[in-house]
Amino acid sequence: MTDFNEQMKKMFQPSTDLFTANAKILETALEQQSTLVKSFIASSIDFNKQLGEQKDYSNVQKMSEEFGKSITEQVTTSNKKIAEAITSATEESSKIINTLVDNAKQTAS
């Protein structure tokens, strides 16, 4: 029975590894999106408070530009981290699939 259990575990290990790689992508994406939304809300509240205190239109325009740049940087940073996670998982998945192909070739020989 132990041999059967070990055999099943070995047989399903690549699927488990692929599932884990995909779960890491989702986890990273959710974390980044959550961080981005929280940051956006905090930045928006701060921006609106400062905006209400301004008397000069040129300051409003400057603040709006800075706010836009800040949001752009936050989105870019978040997307880069998600892309890195996807790249890492893709590389990991490729290794797993290549190992499966190599094992299948050895078994067929």
Q: Where do the structural domains in the chain lie, given as residue ranges?
A: 33-91
Tell me what pLDDT residue 101 has.
86
Which residues does the chain have with pLDDT short of 70?
1
CB-based contact 74:37 (threshold 8 Å): no
Tell me what pLDDT residue 2 has.
74
Residue bearing tokens 């040129």: 58
Tell me what pLDDT residue 1 has.
64
Q: Report residue 24 as tokens.
A: 């890491």
pTM, two decimal places = 0.74
Percent of the chain residues topping a pLDDT of 70: 99
- Separation between Cα atoms, residue 10 and residue 89, nearest integer Å: 21
Distance of CA 106 to the CA centre of its chain: 36
pLDDT digits (tens, 9 = 90+) for 49-78: 999 998 888 889 999 999 999 999 999 999
Tell me what pLDDT residue 65 has.
95
CB-based contact 62:54 (threshold 8 Å): no
